[in-house]
Structure 1
Amino acid sequence: MKDSTTATSGADLRTTDLQGFVTALERRRCLRRISRPVSLVHEITEIHRRVLEAGGPALLFEKPVDASGNVHDIPLLTNLFGTQERIEWGLGVESGGLAGLAAMLADLRHPSPPASSGEVCAKMPLLRVALSMRLRQVGSAPVQQIVRRGGDIDMRSLPVQWCWPGEPAPLVTWPLVITRSPDDPNDINVGVYRMQVLGRDKLIMRWLAHRGGARHHRQWQQRGRDMPVAVVIGADPATILAAVMPLPENVSELAFAGLLRRARTRVAPAITVPLPVPAQAEIVLEGTVSATETAEEGPFGDHTGYYNAVERFPVMSLSAITMRRNPVYLSTYTGRPPDEPSRLGEAMLELFVPLVKRQFPEITDLWMPPEACSYRAIVVSIDKRYPGQARRIMMGLWSMLPQFNYTKLIVAVDPDIDVRKWDDVVWALSTRFDASRDVMIVGETPIDYLDFASPRPGIGGKMGLDATRKIAPETDREWGQVLAMTPEISQRVDALWHEIGLGDQL
């Protein structure tokens, strides 16, 4: 089951809301409506899993059915970013256009002064894009057409998915959680943290300590105050994708979304909390995360392919639910790759390889295999010029981005090795690596909290394998020369190929 697209340009998909994007996907035959009632309990997960593995379309379940047999009138959208093409369209670029966007992001992070009048003109579009990062305040928001407070608040009115067998409750899987610092109203973070439904007006907020929302929560806790929070379920694709990108802490995801869509993000004040919310969103949960109250969360299926351990996390109490008159509920599942997060991880890597190369110019390519849960292993090729360079690159990568901080294994290779081909990488490990010399182990370092292999939660070891050619004083031996045919022979055989009757057989 593959998408059947009718066009390749993503320019007309730069919509300001999710439903506009859905309409465009349907026009391109990249979305399937499912009118038959389908259960929110496990059935949608299994359908989604099979369609994603087949490279199939986004899915709009028009009659999701909850555990009590009630049919919801709010449709559920899933597999929105199950292919790289749809991720590219969501980022506002044409199919295959990630490289151009990556170069633009690198220029924004490390701008260089124009060297000529021609370069000034060439950089003008970059300036216009940068101006799109200013938020636009609006007074009337479609997401506030319906407002529920007090006794009208009920999470059971939303089609919240129950993903895997053995899970204790429905789980909000695609929430964009908006928080801010108590000291600086402009220090606003948007992160994606799963949320277990705890009751009619309560959820559990599960975030890891290094994430922006947890950082803000600690600041509010230190003042003995509950933290205001707004949770967006369903937004325009640029806002969703900005929330999953590893941006610097001083860059607002809401502002960055404007850069992606080439138009300023419209925001409105939330109804009951002092936070901005995307005006064109589908559903917003407003409330506070307690400074003191916690509850046991899990076990839930995770991107590792395992159920996570049961642990306590802070509780969010709702003060309002706002929504459009006819909203769409966005959902997904997480599991062993491939899943939607792993597809997104592959695309995000393409965006940030140019940034990595600017930080470390000797890096020629970098790959994070999705099978390694997106970020737990890196293969990096370097233009090696001095002894110990591979180890320097390993240490630099581990400290560069939050995702790289959790990488357990880095394999360094030479530029003649294709980092995306395991047969190349294994050949390099087999012929350029010696365990007594080329292993670097770093203990007692931050590790993904969900990694059961680590001896203690959140802390463990990292390993680097130097599979580059060795130079003095790394070795006293003369290094072998790689086998290769001469260009002259290759050209002669090219000319002979059809004459000897092999052209149609290989």
Structure 2
Amino acid sequence: MKHSVPPASRYASLQEFANELERRGRLKRIAHPVFLQHEITEIHRRVMEAEGPALLFERPMDNSGRVHDMPLLANVFGTKERIEWGFGLESGGLPNLAETLCNLRDPQPPKNGKDVWDKLPLLKAALAMRPKQVRRAPCQEIVWRGADADLTRLPIQGCWPGEPAPLITWPLVITRSPEDPNDVNVGIYRMQVLGPQQLIMRWLAHRGGARHHLMWQRLGKDMPVAVVIGSDPATLLAAVMPLPEGMSELNFAGVLRGKRSEITEAVSVPMHVPANAEIVLEGHVSATKTAEEGPYGDHTGYYNSVEAFPVMALSAISKRRDAIYLSTYTGRPPDEPSKLGEAMNELFVPLVKRQLPEIADLWLPSEACSYRAMVVSIDKRYPGQARRIMMALWSLLPQFTYTKLIIAVDPDINVRSWPDVVWALSTRFDASRDLMVVSDTPIDYLDFASPKAGLGGKLGLDATTKIGPETEREWGKVLGMSPEITDRVDAMWAELGLGGESQ
């Protein structure tokens, strides 16, 4: 049965979004008891590959056979359609959001009176970024402190064989600077359960949470932290967006929602949390205590190595009375994070094109773990331009720092078509001239293919048409039919009885 495309809508909570997905046939309830250990991952994986619905496991079960009374929601953003709905957009609406993000990152002054009116939505968006503080919040209908703040009360998933403990996979980790309470970061860092009231916080050095933790460490203090499990889709998606440095994800969620974010004071730490959250874990990340984390299955399709990371001690758990637990798994694409990465690709393009106007299009294939390979098409005007663009891209956004391979092509090549890209490499690339290798650069810490952790090489392939001093040979002319003939064949195609559409 084909469902109608919903109008643009904004959702005040994760449950409101889940209810709408169910109403439109995009959520499936699983009443059968399913083990948290591995079974949910395997069901989720199969549904992901079929681009199936979100999954609400009503009776998640731990290894002892105990059935949790808290349901587990997975695959909520497993398709582009649901990601767009989560942003409050109609299907196909990501380009408009990309333009808004671009203007917020690099605003342009109005050119005339009409331009002032055109920019009014942007001004309203900026106003929506200021959060509103509330005293009574759904996320604090039930509060567990002391021994009651026990992680075993939550249906925390175990994703892959060989992993040492259950893993929180969809946490929004909220941290702040010790000096500036407005310097707030929301990051998604997986968290290994170390005990009923302890977790390992796995963040990498370049991430905002690690930056804040270092500030608290220098003061010799444990860092207060709040961890949100499940929130409205605008807040969840803001946490994975390419926002400008210093822009709060909680504030920007108000832009996506079209309404100011509501926040409330945490019950045991000096932090603010989304009032509409499902579950909030509160506590402190130790300035000194670490524990071995892993191995866990990762987005690379491999298990990562075991490393020491800081330990978080719980002081409280607060939740909605009817809370649902949000979870996912990471693995070789396709997985839910790779689907989110595909959507983020559409948000990157306008940002990149504003900084580098000669770029025609850009693609980060999900098969390359979302960001490790890139294909870029450029409007080439001078010799060496492809190399300049490669070097600029590696420095432009934090995400591109870890791109290992860039293939540059001409605008006549569809960057999203591997047959087109391979044809360009086969006919416009020469290894002795068009290969650029950059050694000893920052690389994804999780990439064990690099010779050193966090340090490795980058490769640029120039598959553009060569001009000027780039070649001494006469360059070939691309085959193509004349427009007159293609128009004539288009006009007669239906009468030929060959079926399909004319190309």
Q: Which TM-score band applies after superposition, normalised by the shorter structure?
A: over 0.9
Aligned-pair CA distance for 1:115 = 2.3
Distance (Å, rounded) in 2 between the aligned partners of 1:429 and 1:245:
32
Is 2:273 the counterpart of 1:283?
Answer: no
Is 2:418 the counterpart of 1:422?
Answer: yes
Q: Secondary structure at the match of 1:381?
A: strand
Is 2:37 the counterpart of 1:6?
Answer: no
Task: State how many pairs are aligned.
Answer: 502
Within 5 A, what are the aligned runs for 1:239-250? Answer: 239-250=235-246
Within 5 A, what are the aligned runs for 1:93-104? Answer: 93-104=89-100
Aligned-pair CA distance for 1:110 = 2.0
CA contact (8 A) 2:174 2:226 kept: yes
CA contact (8 A) 1:288 1:318 kept: yes
Is 2:233 the counterpart of 1:268?
Answer: no
Distance (Å, rounded) in 2 between the aligned partners of 1:83 and 1:407:
24
Within 5 A, what are the aligned runs for 1:391-402? Answer: 391-402=387-398
Q: 1:5 to 1:273 in 2, by over 3 A?
A: farther
| Cα deviations by residue, 1:276-320 (Å, 9 ceiling, x for unpaired) | 100110000000001111101011000000000011110000000
Is 2:461 the counterpart of 1:453?
Answer: no
Match of 1:387 among 380, 383, 396: 383
Counterpart AA for 2:186: V
Distance (Å, rounded) in 1 between the aligned partners of 2:148 and 2:417:
55
Distance (Å, rounded) in 2 between the aligned partners of 1:139 and 1:333:
34
Counterpart AA for 1:33: R
Counterpart AA for 2:459: M
| Cα deviations by residue, 1:76-130 (Å, 9 ceiling, x for unpaired) | 0000000000000111110111111111211222222222222222221221111
CA contact (8 A) 1:172 1:197 kept: yes
Distance (Å, rounded) in 1 between the aligned partners of 2:453 and 2:57:
38
The residue number in structure 1 matching 2:361 is: 365
Distance (Å, rounded) in 2 between the aligned partners of 1:243 and 1:97:
19
The residue number in structure 1 matching 2:431 is: 435
Q: Secondary structure at the match of 2:475?
A: coil
Distance (Å, rounded) in 2 between the aligned partners of 1:349 and 1:366:
8
The residue number in structure 2 matching 1:489 is: 485
Gaps of 5+ in 2: none
Percent sequence identity is: 71
Is 2:315 the counterpart of 1:298?
Answer: no
Counterpart AA for 2:196: R
The residue number in structure 2 matching 1:166 is: 162
Within 5 A, what are the aligned runs for 1:6-405? Answer: 6-12=3-9, 14-405=10-401
Aligned-pair CA distance for 1:211 = 0.4
Aligned-pair CA distance for 1:41 = 0.5
Aligned-pair CA distance for 1:352 = 1.7
Counterpart AA for 2:43: I
CA contact (8 A) 2:224 2:283 kept: yes
Q: Secondary structure at the match of 1:217?
A: helix
Q: 1:501 to 1:142 in 2, by over 3 A?
A: closer
Distance (Å, rounded) in 2 between the aligned partners of 1:228 and 1:350:
35
Aligned-pair CA distance for 1:505 = 9.9
Distance (Å, rounded) in 1 between the aligned partners of 2:71 and 2:188:
21
| Cα deviations by residue, 1:28-62 (Å, 9 ceiling, x for unpaired) | 11111111111001000000001111111100000
Q: TM-score, normalised by structure 2?
A: 0.98
Distance (Å, rounded) in 1 between the aligned partners of 2:486 and 2:3:
40
Distance (Å, rounded) in 2 between the aligned partners of 1:72 and 1:92:
32
Bigger mean CA offset, 486-495 vs 40-49: 486-495
Distance (Å, rounded) in 2 between the aligned partners of 1:318 and 1:472:
64
Distance (Å, rounded) in 2 between the aligned partners of 1:367 and 1:141:
41
CA contact (8 A) 2:409 2:421 kept: yes
Q: TM-score, normalised by structure 1?
A: 0.97
Gaps of 5+ in 1: none
Distance (Å, rounded) in 2 between the aligned partners of 1:69 and 1:107:
52
Q: Secondary structure at the match of 2:431?
A: coil
Distance (Å, rounded) in 1 between the aligned partners of 2:163 and 2:497:
61
Aligned-pair CA distance for 1:496 = 4.3
Aligned-pair CA distance for 1:138 = 0.6
Distance (Å, rounded) in 2 between the aligned partners of 1:504 and 1:295:
61
Q: 1:437 to 1:69 in 2, by over 3 A?
A: same
CA contact (8 A) 2:105 2:244 kept: no
Distance (Å, rounded) in 1 between the aligned partners of 2:3 and 2:492:
41
CA contact (8 A) 1:10 1:88 kept: no
Distance (Å, rounded) in 1 between the aligned partners of 2:441 and 2:37:
38
Q: 1:419 to 1:374 in 2, by over 3 A?
A: same
Q: Secondary structure at the match of 1:215?
A: helix
CA contact (8 A) 1:5 1:29 kept: no
Is 2:402 the counterpart of 1:406?
Answer: yes
| Cα deviations by residue, 1:340-389 (Å, 9 ceiling, x for unpaired) | 00000000110121111001000000000000000000000000011111
Distance (Å, rounded) in 2 between the aligned partners of 1:20 and 1:392:
47
Q: Secondary structure at the match of 1:207?
A: coil
Aligned-pair CA distance for 1:439 = 0.7
| Cα deviations by residue, 1:320-350 (Å, 9 ceiling, x for unpaired) | 0011111000000000000000000000110
| Cα deviations by residue, 1:430-459 (Å, 9 ceiling, x for unpaired) | 111110111111111111111111001111
Distance (Å, rounded) in 2 between the aligned partners of 1:184 and 1:369:
38
Distance (Å, rounded) in 2 between the aligned partners of 1:152 and 1:211:
31
Match of 1:468 among 444, 464, 468: 464
Bigger mean CA offset, 406-415 vs 474-483: 474-483
Q: Secondary structure at the match of 1:143?
A: helix
Q: 1:485 to 1:135 in 2, by over 3 A?
A: same
